[in-house]
Structure 1
Amino acid sequence: EELWQKSYNFGNRDILMGTSVIQSQDRGAKNQDATKGILLGGYTQAEGKIETDDETFWMLYLNQDGNEQWRKHIKGESRKREERLSDIKLNRDGSIILAGTSAEELGKENWKIVKLGDKQLDQLIEKQDIKIYPNPVSDYAYVEIGSQFKEADIMLYDMSGRQLQSLKTKNKVTKINTQNLIQGAYLVTIKTDTNKTA
């Protein structure tokens, strides 16, 4: 089922090389991720006459409906005539990694990698300050809480909602014994002293 389809133009031959999706937990639907935005990366390929900002790393940011929010090209002192993006990655901390090749002329390419911070994207990304690992678990599970929390309540439930374990912790990392549990899916809930729940 197609939800939407869009087209975006930068001028010359527009080559898309990578995409990252910003997601957040949808509070209304259980275990469903909601799309907050889409970050696209690529470059324009000049044909004959090189226009300004051709052969440059480009980024395009869309909202969840595919409407353009902004477009940016990467400037910099090291900019060469031929710059071709190969990949784009959005990190959990809101920074962006762009990788590709850079050369004064074809046949003399070097690898180029750029790391960017973006305050707009940083505000959209949910920080991973509470972690549970490993998944799947065998004998022990570990719950890690961020340094901004003083303590947390950890509850373990089976999928019918029955509480199997409950403990309060002030440790940054807490070990939970899961050896006595039968194989299956379980839910771990962490509630911090600041009323943050994960």
Structure 2
Amino acid sequence: MSAIDDGGWHQAAIGLGGNIGDAAAAIAQALARLDAHPDVTVLAVSGLYRTPPWGKTDQDWFFNACAVVQTTLEPLALLDACLDVEKAMKRQRLERWGPRTIDLDVLTYDTITMQTAALTLPHPRMTERGFVLLPLADILPDHVVGGRSVAAWAGDADAAGIEIADGRAAWWRDRAGEVSGGV
């Protein structure tokens, strides 16, 4: 058996964001949905960040956060679980880097490096994005990506305009209940 499909627990980092509707509550609901999955446990969540749009800049600002999860799912199955959360929350993929209600990205999975048509690990552009690195450094500062720690990448990241909207560790648990229909 490989290290991936051994049935044991693995650690993954998930990036979350959105800029349509109550994006902070949507991120909280997505985290609650992931945590409710029988094969996923949310271990830590970053603060909630308010960030300028990246890539396509003529749109509303985003809210972003990162989470560390423990999972028995293989990387592609974890991606599918994230996509299922997006689908349940009515995510529509209309435009690359465009507005979205919710977005979940698998950023890292243990220390695995892999590339498939569906998933590249670590996430191929995470080290270019302050809106990923700053929240990820909150919860996984010593994790090594591309030969450097997340904290080192975050220290060099373009953080222009990025601000902490809620720095509490439990912000998402408070907001998950605000979404009508629950989780």
Structure having the higher helix fraction is 2
Give the TM-score normalised by structure 1: 0.23
Larger radius of gyration: 1
Structure having the higher strand fraction is 1
Give the TM-score normalised by structure 2: 0.24
